[in-house]
Structure 1
Amino acid sequence: MCATLLPGNAVSVAAADGEDITITMVESLTSAERTAIIREIADKYEEEHPNITIEIISPPLENADNKITQMLMSGSGCDIVEARDLTITQYVNNQWIQPMDSYLDAWEEKDTLTEAAQQAIYNTGDAAYMMPYGFLWRGLYVHTDWLEEAGIETPSTWQEIYDAGVALTDTDANRYGFAFRGATLGYMYADTVIWSWLGTDQLASTDAGYFLKDGNGATIFTLPETKEALEFYKSLFTDCSPADSIAWGFAEMVQGFIGGTAAMLIQDPEVISSCEADLEEGTWDLVPFPTGPSGQAVFPNGFSGWSMTSFTEHPDEVADFILYLSNAENNTYFCKNYATIPIHTTAAEMDSYFEESHFSIYMDMANDGDTYRTCSAPMKYNVFAAYKSEVDTMYQKWLTDEITTDELLTWLDDYWTQAYADEGEKF
């Protein structure tokens, strides 16, 4: 090539030398609505860069990460992959993606990135392996018409969710209190209940939420409060959720709420748009995440973003497009339409949506850091990838009484005690 792209520059190398280039990006959190938003921004980029084509691959949601892993292992077929808080460490450890520090350092919009965005960028260490596009904090979706009909106040604690859920459950009418997630990533919901019982002050680190503070590798799974939290969590399934929710993933639990099967749902802000489209205004609401006995509401700081593969043949063009997706204008537009928390501090100035209507609860939660905390599993451990493939099966065995609570806790404690023994302290 006869030209050099300055990172973050709006002019591509390809535009300088006339080479036709195709950039292939692969989504993880796939939905038709979200893909359409990305396609819209990509089309705009193609208009400004006529010799660059953006190809978007959108595997089915439930196996998208497996598809991405296969493509990365093959070392071909993609230039950009969607990395998540659950997958980024695996991608870095296997050298499937490469740092973008030089591009980010020269980017004129880096100074308006939020603190949360900075933390996500450097989640795996000192190098910038990902540019996040937004954050997925959880809230409580409720059918307010169901609650009003039953004379029940909107729940603000886990116990109130359970009490309301039991009262609203009518199996003969196929109406249940809670949309339970028993399939893929269901364990993350158990984690939030446990952390809300314990509080984050007992934890070694909020990015290693299975280990105790000053515990020399001791895990949370030996505490009586953890057992109590797990048994409470199981009661949500047995007492106020459909039996078939043992197999519910994201799509099924959302449909359970929107379709009128379940009164309450814990989910991310991306569900706002589905509720606005399919439910009558005034019949539903989104309220802050529930607190536990600790007085805290603890949930994952879920994030996803775009990473450049280590084998792309066009790193300058790929980085340019990633930063184009990530500029304040495009990110604000994307986050409003996809309902995620933006990465730029200027988002609320650019669009009042982020301080209004249903989305405003996330601003309220962000302003009350004493109550609303974020936490995650120990994702920096190499064994986390294997853990993800096993833990949901163990939870399903427990929920269906194939194993006891004590047996599940022993398995969890043994797993992470061994991880600490093998890999040391990674927090």
Structure 2
Amino acid sequence: MALTALIATGCSAGGPENNNSGDPVKLTYWAWAPNLDKVVDIWNEANPDIQVTVAKQDGGDPAITKLLTAIQAGSGAPDLIQAEYQKIPTLVASDALADIAGAVGGDLAGEFPDAVWDSVTLGGDAVYAIPQDTGPMMFYYREDIFNELGLTVPTTWDEYADTARALREADPTKYLGTFSATDAGWFAGLSQQAQAEWWSIDGEAWAVGIDQEPTQAVAEYWGGLVAEGAIDNKPMYTPEWNAGLNDGTQVGWLGAVWGPGVLQGNAADTAGLWKAALLPTWDGTPSNGNWGGSSTAVTSQSDHVEAATEFATWLNTDPEAVAALVEQTGIYPAATEAGASILTEAPDFFSNQPDFYDVAAQAAEAVAPFTYGPNVNVAFSAYNDEFAKAAEAKSVDAFVAAVSAMQQITLEDLKSNGFTVVE
């Protein structure tokens, strides 16, 4: 994949780095992961010459907006920032991140799944961040209800549809899942599994491929299930949905590896009743999507790119650091080998499934490549608007039309903001 000059504007590692004063290098890290300061304390104790301070932020989008404001002003930016993968193209296009390729080890890419590494390199030679955690999608289901009703765990989307129908026939109060018109990242993950490419870089121009066969097929599939009433059409993370997880009216959930925390928080009474499986596939060929995950990036205004890169690499690949991240922040680490050596016991909520993390590892390994664009916020907003109408209409045509509308809105926004676009 060629990198356009419009995206490859991140500053190369460099700038003032020498520190001859005898005082420690002081780095500021904007992040929102809980208890991250406790992990950083391990680094600070062992590295008196490079001291890192965590400045807690209010989640992903506010932190990114705050960083872009500081970059535009020319001051006030931190040395490091926790950046979700889908935000990296936006930050690079805004000249907010340093290219740290010259500061990372040559074999660092091998620490991570190919699709995850691609997310921080944008398919080129530059490196804009170190992966921290990832969110391979998984299928969660109530094993007790499946057994009671004689249902089988679906391995393909055709089987999922059949199981959803069988469940509704056996008990009309229950659903195998819901289509959520408020979770664009969820739908992006399902489209990624189908080999969709919502954005791509062609020479020196962006291309938008939302309204193409893979995503059209995903939309048509879910539109059909909603239209016939085989699944619910209410958003996730509402009080109604939360209650459904607990009382058994929501018998399944297409979530991600971080799902145990959601289930523990919303369906505590059902501990030991759920099982995790791989996401159903379209044709039996292993493939998966990603929902969530973030990285540690060095900003273009840092005067200590090498020191910041050294810390970011330690944080996300060192076994002690990764173990602390898992324990303190609850992440699913992106580093394959380090994660496998640490995640040896299932989450408490899944104590009935000792192989939980074996299934998770298979899910992570199957994640397909997926490129985000510099206006992902626009595309995600368009998803919320257009699919809210489609879910309400409960028609296949409305679901397919929503994909076309997303394409047009995303494409026009790129043009209006001065990006070179190929159609």
Bucket of the pairwise TM-score, normalised by the shorter protein: 0.7 to 0.9
Query: Is the aligned partner of 1:374 residue 2:368?
Result: yes
1:283 to 273, 284, 299: 273
Please report how far the alpha carbon of residue 236 of structure 1 lies from its aligned counterpart in structure 2 after TM superposition: 4.2
Q: Deviations over 1:193-230 (max 9, x none)?
A: 5566xx54xx7xx685899xxxxx7957365x865542
Query: Is the aligned partner of 1:113 residue 2:111?
Result: yes
Partner of 1:82: 82
Write the distance in 1 (CA, Å) between the matches of 2:411 and 2:369: 19
Partner of 2:179: 180
Matched letter for residue 264 of structure 1: G
Partner of 2:22: 17
Helix, strand or coil at the partner of 1:17: coil
Query: Is the aligned partner of 1:408 residue 2:408?
Result: no
Stretches of structure 2 lacking an aligned partner (at least 5 in a row):
1-12, 347-352
Matched letter for residue 40 of structure 2: A
CA contact (8 A) 1:97 1:129 kept: yes
Please report how far the alpha carbon of residue 113 of structure 1 lies from its aligned counterpart in structure 2 after TM superposition: 1.7
Query: Is the aligned partner of 1:322 residue 2:284?
Result: no
Helix, strand or coil at the partner of 1:400: helix
Write the distance in 1 (CA, Å) between the matches of 2:253 and 2:67: 29
Helix, strand or coil at the partner of 1:87: helix
Partner of 1:267: 255
Change in Cα spacing, 1:419 to 1:110, as seen in structure 2 (3 Å) is same
Please report how far the alpha carbon of residue 268 of structure 1 lies from its aligned counterpart in structure 2 after TM superposition: 1.5
Matched letter for residue 392 of structure 2: T
Partner of 1:233: 222
CA contact (8 A) 2:140 2:277 kept: yes
Write the distance in 1 (CA, Å) between the matches of 2:60 and 2:175: 26
Change in Cα spacing, 1:303 to 1:425, as seen in structure 2 (3 Å) is farther
Please report how far the alpha carbon of residue 102 of structure 1 lies from its aligned counterpart in structure 2 after TM superposition: 3.0
2:299 to 298, 303, 309: 309
Partner of 1:257: 245
Trace 1:114-263 onto structure 2 (pairs within 5 A). 114-116=112-114, 118-123=117-122, 125-169=124-168, 175-185=174-184, 188-189=186-187, 191=188, 193=190, 200=195, 208=199, 219=209, 221=211, 223=213, 227=216, 229-237=218-226, 239-242=229-232, 245-246=234-235, 248=236, 257=245, 260-263=248-251
Query: Is the aligned partner of 1:423 residue 2:423?
Result: no
Between stretches 177-186 and 260-269, larger displacement belongs to 177-186
Change in Cα spacing, 1:389 to 1:405, as seen in structure 2 (3 Å) is closer
Q: Deviations over 1:142-186 (max 9, x none)?
A: 11112112111122222333333344459x996432143221425
2:43 to 42, 45, 49: 45
Write the distance in 1 (CA, Å) between the matches of 2:314 and 2:238: 29
Change in Cα spacing, 1:394 to 1:336, as seen in structure 2 (3 Å) is same
Change in Cα spacing, 1:153 to 1:90, as seen in structure 2 (3 Å) is same
CA contact (8 A) 2:90 2:375 kept: no
Partner of 2:3: none
Identity %: 14
CA contact (8 A) 2:136 2:257 kept: yes
Write the distance in 2 (CA, Å) between the matches of 1:142 and 1:334: 30
Q: TM-score, normalised by structure 1?
A: 0.72
Please report how far the alpha carbon of residue 250 of structure 1 lies from its aligned counterpart in structure 2 after TM superposition: 9.6
Write the distance in 2 (CA, Å) between the matches of 1:24 and 1:139: 31
CA contact (8 A) 1:112 1:346 kept: no
Please report how far the alpha carbon of residue 333 of structure 1 lies from its aligned counterpart in structure 2 after TM superposition: 1.1
Matched letter for residue 280 of structure 2: P
Write the distance in 2 (CA, Å) between the matches of 1:336 and 1:330: 10
Please report how far the alpha carbon of residue 399 of structure 1 lies from its aligned counterpart in structure 2 after TM superposition: 1.7
Helix, strand or coil at the partner of 2:139: strand
Please report how far the alpha carbon of residue 49 of structure 1 lies from its aligned counterpart in structure 2 after TM superposition: 4.3
Change in Cα spacing, 1:417 to 1:347, as seen in structure 2 (3 Å) is closer
CA contact (8 A) 1:136 1:269 kept: yes
Please report how far the alpha carbon of residue 400 of structure 1 lies from its aligned counterpart in structure 2 after TM superposition: 1.8
Write the distance in 2 (CA, Å) between the matches of 1:193 and 1:326: 27
